[in-house]
Structures are given as structure tokens and as C-alpha cells.
Structure 1
Amino acid sequence: MIKTLIPVRSHIVSGVLLSRQDGEIKILLMKRVKGNFWCHIAGKVEKAETAVQAIVREIKEETQVQVSELYSADYLEQFYEADQNVIEMIPVFLVYCTEHQQIVLNDEHSEYAWFSLQEAIEKAEFGGQRLLYQYIWDNFVHRKPSELLKIQLF
């Protein structure tokens, strides 16, 4: 009997941005043009890039936010991609943005908004997103993250 393996791939990074908006901490979600769903930032790691370099670049490209405070979220998004028969593992990063952070979208997204945790969970298309947003809230809003997760930028 021939056993078929499911490859595990990790070539994407994702980032969740938090900002105080109107007195409350909120999560940035953007509506993707392709697929028409709300999501946080994600993108592929380019050749010769580290995951940190990739997420800083992706955040700048998608929102025009200059990252100054970056953390490893200590979390991996994971899902099965049926059309490619692959399990995708995505390291997540967290960015604390300035109060009333302004966003300038690129052409990958049609709109954005800052949402409360409950609103973000309601907007999330996928169960993994809902779990991630709750995890971020528990570990980066309700608690001060460990300094060991803070990433020194270049």
C-alpha cells in the first residue's frame, strides 16, 4: 500500500495591528478584493527575506504603516489547502500602532475598519481567524506581552 503524505508548507506571514481608536483598543481588518472577505494582513515571504522582513514589508505595502513596535505573537495560523493538498503554517506577528492610526490601502483591499474584538470575530470568515483574534486579545490586550516576544527591528 502506498501512503500519501500531506506536505507542510510555510511561506506566508501574517500580522495583526492594534490601535487605540476613540478610546478603545481595536483590531484592523481589511476587505480583500480577491474573495471579498475581511482579514488581517498576510503575504508571501520573498526570496532572501526573513519572516520579520516580510511582515514589515507587507504591512507597509498594504497599509502604509511604518512598523515601530513588533512582536512575535507566539502563534501559528494553520489550515489545510485542499486544491494543493498542503497544510499551511503561518507565523503571526503583532504590531501596536499609534493612537488613531491612519491607513492607506493598496489595491489588494477595497475597504478597512478598526473593530472591537467582538466585531472582528463576527466579521471573520474562518474559524482560525476567530481563534487568532481571541488569542491576540487575551495575550496582547488583557496582558502585557513578554519582552522576550519583542522583535528588534533593523
Structure 2
Amino acid sequence: MMKTNIEVPIRCTGVAVVLLKNTPSGHHVLLLKRAGSVLRDAWCYIGGGIEEGEQAWEAALREVREETGITQVTLYTSNTFDQIYSAKENYIYVAPVFVGYVNDDQDVILNHEHSDYEWLTVNEAIDRVALPGNDVVLATIEKHFIRKTPAAWLRVGTP
């Protein structure tokens, strides 16, 4: 008798965004401290759901606005993904990661989802992020978006 293999479903219902600002001491990454019941007190980059009618990059810009109050962002797709396996519900959650460059003069105004924020060096951010895999995403962003100028075809959103 042959056994049938069962697939683990993959869900992509959200996005992640890593904001970068260039300071006199180099690029810094914005991390936010979660305030809600999910991942309470965990340091993460920006993330959230894709709403009906939105493209992923549009959700990324909206989430940046909602979570930080920042409105001026030069956005790129990073061609990397956050991924988490939910053992409880037996699915893999995948979210495209976007990179946003912001000017140094924009203030962060947190919404109710977060209790604190910090602009950190990439190494500090890698040490601080809570979820396994976030460190790999940040290392990839450092290699392709901090040490190099990103390719123009990675740019998304309005110019």
C-alpha cells in the first residue's frame, strides 16, 4: 500500500519592512518593541497584514505609516522573506521583506502596537531581534542594501 504525502500549506498574508537611515556614523536599522499580547516585549522590525485590494508593497508603505508615522520612504523589495512555521496550525507563514530608506530628520511616532523604538547599527539590531531568522534577513539587507547600492529594478512604489 502506497502512502500519500501531505503538504504543509504556505500562507502569505503579510509583509515585513526594515527601515534604514544613513547617519554620520553609518546606516542604522529601526527596531520596535512589541506591546500587544503576541510577541510582547520582543524587538522586531515593522510587519503587518495585507488588506483587501492592496499589493504587498502598498501594505508595506501603509504599515510604515501606521506603526511609525513616517511618510517619506524610498522603498525596495529585498527579494528575501520572513518565514515561520506554526506547529499548532501546521502551516508556513511567509512574508516578503521590503527595505525602506528614510531621511534622518523624520520623527518616529509609535502607534499602540509598540512601546519603544531604537535606531541601531546592523550588528546591534542582529543581536536584539527576537525571532530566529530575523538576524539572517538583517545580514542579507546589510550585504545588498547597505554595503551596495540596490539595483533600480528592486525599487517599488511611487518614485
Both proteins in one fold, TM over 0.5: yes
Query: Which amino acid letter does the alignment assign opposite residue 128 of structure 1?
Result: G
Cα contact 2:58–2:157 (8 A) shared by 1: no
1:30 to 32, 46, 61: 32
- The CA deviation string for residues 6-49 of structure 1, in whole angstroms up to 9 with x for no partner, is 10110110100001245321000000013210000000101111
Task: Tell me how large the CA RMSD over aligned residues is.
Answer: 1.5
Match of 1:8 among 7, 10, 15: 10
Aligned pair 1:150/2:155, yes or no? Answer: yes
Measured against aligned partners, the alpha-carbon deviations of 1:75-94 in whole angstroms (never above 9, x if no partner) come to 11212112221111110111
- Percent identical pairs in the alignment equals 32
Q: How does 1:17-56 map to 2 (within 5 A)?
A: 17-21=19-23, 23-34=25-36, 35=39, 36-56=41-61
TM superposition shift of 1:52:
1.3
Structure 1 unaligned spans of 5+ = none
Deviation, 1:68, is: 3.3
More displaced 10-residue stretch of structure 1: 108-117 or 95-104: 95-104
- Per-residue CA deviation, residues 44-102 of structure 1 (Å, 9 max, x unaligned), is 10111111111111110000111431101111121211222111111011100002431
In structure 2, list runs of 5 or more residues that go unmatched. none
1:57-136 equivalences under 5 Å are 57-136=62-141
Contact 1:67 1:95 (C-alpha < 8 Å) held by counterparts: no
Cα offset, 1:120, TM superposition: 0.5
Superposition deviation, residue 140 in structure 1: 0.4
TM-score by length of 2: 0.91
Measured in 2, the distance between the counterparts of 1:134 and 1:77 equals 13
Question: In the comparison of the two structures, how many residue pairs are matched?
Answer: 154
Give the alignment's TM-score, normalised by structure 1: 0.93
Task: Give the partner amino acid of 1:32.
Answer: R
